[in-house]
Amino acid sequence: MSTLIEISSEAEFDSHIKSLPSTTLSILYFHAPWAAPCAQMRTVLAALASQYPATQPPTTSFISINAEELPDISETYEVTAVPFVVLTRDGKILESISGSDAVRVREAIERHAGSKASAGAPATIPPPLAAVPRETGPTTATQPPAGAANGDALTPEQSKEALFARLRELVKAAPVMLFMKGTPSAPQCGFSRQLVAILRERSVKYGFFNILADEDVRQGLKEFADWPTFPQLWVGGELVGGLDIVSLYFLFFFFLCLVSLPWLNGLVLIGEQVKDEIENDPDFLREHSVNKAPVAA
């Protein structure tokens, strides 16, 4: 039977893809360790892979890729959220699926593989999770949940409550969460690009959410956070702020720039508070750094 192969480097990915004949259907699974739906999708794909025989040459190849650790590959296949599945053959993208709809993934694989999986008990497919960007159509939070009777649309109050419940989970999806325009490998605005650079320079491990992929999250988070712009950085489920505030945490000279502009009195007050916090806790975000020192026994 086939298995889900974990790729750890771009060189390994290139070598593996080049080793496959042009007739092989490649199933590329992009994931991130902080996204809960990815664990489910890994189980789904491992189960699906086991239903396809290991042939020579291979008819299918199931490949797992960490979207954050291999950003160039993610950018090549236009990964905007995780989990993300791409089906390719002979260097051509056949279909891309964003989100955790296991049934849709299975149907796509069966369709492009040209036949059903090998005989035997069908793989058990768990129901999809909803804590990922929606992948099809201009869906909104006012639409009824799956299985609801036709016409049973949510009221505005119910819609807002459901969206805020989703956002409360989303801002805690990783210890450090960045809500940005685009992805770290392909930022879609200068502010997002600068904030990504700040986090990378300091080796901060973080999760990200592309707000361009989900209009509900994009608009809802503005009200939920009482912060009208993006990017937004959240730590431990609490809003830190945008590029300007994050820069204040890390760049002392930025505070001096703010106090020289009298019309920014509000920001100066925030800057003073942030400066005090930095002075009291110079290791802010240190616990989230990939280069943090080990804790003494």
- Between these two residues, 166 and 13, which has the higher pLDDT value? 13
146 domain-assigned: no
132 versus 49: the higher-pLDDT residue is: 49
**Whether residues 196 and 78 fall in one domain:** no
Residue 77: burial class (beta carbons within 10 Å; 0-12, 13-18, 19+):
middle
pLDDT tens for residues 256-274?
444 544 444 444 455 555 5
Q: Under a CB-based contact definition with an 8 Å cutoff, are residues 173 and 207 in contact?
A: yes
51 shares its domain with 167: no
Question: Is position 272 within any domain?
Answer: yes
- 97 and 197, same domain (yes or no): no
The pLDDT tens digits of the residues spanning 119-161 come to 443 444 444 433 344 333 333 333 344 444 444 566 777 778 8
CATH number at residue 12: 3.40.30.10
Each residue of 159-180: pLDDT tens digit?
788 889 889 888 888 888 899 9
- Give the residue among 79, 67, 276, 291 at the shortest CA–CA distance from 201: 291
* Environment class of 124 (CB within 10 Å of its CB; exposed 0-12, middle 13-18, buried 19+): exposed
Of 83, 113, 143, the one marking the end of a domain is 113
282 and 169 housed in the same domain: yes
Determine, yes or no, domain membership for 102: yes
Number of domains in the chain: 2
The whole-model pTM stands at 0.49
C-alpha 282/C-alpha 284 separation (Å) is 6
Range of weakest confidence among 76-80, 88-92, 125-129, 258-262 = 125-129
**Same domain as 166, residue 280:** yes
Same domain, 179 and 66: no
Q: Is 236 within a domain? A: yes
pLDDT number for residue 62: 96
pLDDT > 90: percent of the chain: 23
Q: Does a structural domain hold residue 120?
A: no
User: 43 lies in a domain?
Assistant: yes
Mean predicted lDDT score pLDDT of the chain: 76
In a domain, 259, yes or no: yes
User: What number of residues does the chain have?
Assistant: 297
- Domain membership of residue 27 (yes or no) is yes
Are 166 and 273 within one domain? Answer: yes
Residue 242, domain extent = 158-288
Residues 29 and 103 in one domain: yes
The verdict on 109 and 162 lying in the same domain is no
What is the mean predicted confidence (pLDDT) over 35-60?
A: 87
